[in-house]
Amino acid sequence: MYHGRFKGTHYEAGFKYGSMLRKHGVVIKGSPTFEITEEMKKFAADCTILYEEYYPEVIQEIKGMADGQESSFEILSQILFSMYCFKAENHCTCFAISNHENIILGRNSDFLVSIEKLYMNCIYNLDGVYAFNGNTTAFIQMEDGMNEHGLAVGLTFIYPHVRKPGLNAGMLLRYILEKCKNVEEAITALKKLPVASAQTLTIADKEGNIAVVECNSKKFAVIYPKENENFVATANDFNSEELIEFRTPDFIDDWSSHDRYKTAKEALVANKKEYSLEFAMNLLAGKYGFMCQYDRKKNADTVWSVVYDVKNCKVYRVEGNPSRKMFKEDVRILVP
């Protein structure tokens, strides 16, 4: 996993990252996981108009990265804005716990072994937005993180039955980290933003509020803990009645999403008196059932695992599969 630390303006952050990659001989000319089609190019151009309206800061960061790469904004935006919207290729599990002793968000990021050395952890402390510590399989967009106010968010990707120009999963998550202080603000923001892709966003804040937002370009639902339960959980499918028609088709290889969701939910129901950081880590490590026990020979694995101790604003991460490696606390200061 690369580690980056960025400050200043969004443009400066993008320029720094683009320049750093170019100095190491890396110039991004396309996506390593999908071919950019003419349809994607048109879609990205339409999305750009909405990003300029709703999230202009990220447009500046992409322009900065393009300048640092001595490349073009169009190439980078076509990669970033098409992500999550056309192919089913991200496979993750997320849960959140909130009781009197603990507020925890846990997430496994399951993806391709072939590009695992390119994945990145970032600390952003940019002008005019909230600082955050986040992780990504790509660049600029984020897949999980926690900001300076103790708001933690993690995404899971859902098969894209429908799409329309707007912000995709990783950009929605980053928007929340940069602009929201709590679960209520995050949900309010998501309801106002144009949504491009299909996803869940698991959210937890320091006040102990937890929720899963399920959304695509047509529908929106919020799942809160059931009565007498202190958790929410999700994998790579929708579970709300509102989005049931957009569930992942049976012919799609979702990397055992149903099994991962079942493991998480059953462990959370059966072990409510055992909730702790250790419990969250063990659940992600597969000690309660199938969660991360992939066959790496098939180019699939849990490529990082993270536990956000929201109550105490601490981050614990495994850079690799948690069944084989230990969680380590990220002791870097978020805001200097």
Sequential DSSP letters for 43-89: HHHHHHHHHHHH-HHHHHHHHHHHHHHTS-HHHHHHHHHHTTTS---
C-alpha span between 153 and 130 (Å, rounded)? 14
pLDDT at 89: 67
pLDDT at 11: 98
Is residue 166 within 8 Å of residue 222, measured between CB atoms? no
Alpha-carbon torsion (139, 308, 329, 271), positive or negative: negative
pLDDT at 101: 95
Q: What is the DSSP letter of 161?
A: S
Global confidence as pTM: 0.95
Q: Is 263 left (phi over 0), alpha (psi -120 to 50) or beta?
A: alpha
Could you give the dihedral angle defined by the CA atoms of residues 34, 38, 39 and 41, in that order, rounded to the nearest 10 degrees?
A: 80
Is residue 135 within 8 Å of residue 151, measured between CB atoms? no
pLDDT at 301: 87
Is residue 129 within 8 Å of residue 9, measured between CB atoms? no
pLDDT at 29: 84
Structure tokens at 324: 């084989």
Query: How much of the chain is helix, strand and coil, in % rounded to 5?
Result: 35, 25, 40
pLDDT at 309: 98
Kind and range of the H or E element at 315? strand 314-318
Share of the chain above pLDDT 70, in %: 98
C-alpha span between 258 and 205 (Å, rounded)? 27
**Residue 116, phi then psi, degrees to nearest 5:** -65, -25
Domains and CATH numbers, the chain: 7-82 (1.10.10), 91-329 (3.60.60.10)
For 55, half-sphere exposure in the C-beta direction (CA atoms, 13 angstrom radius) is 30
**Residue 151, phi then psi, degrees to nearest 5:** -95, 120
**Which residues, given as ranges, of the chain have pLDDT below 50?**
none
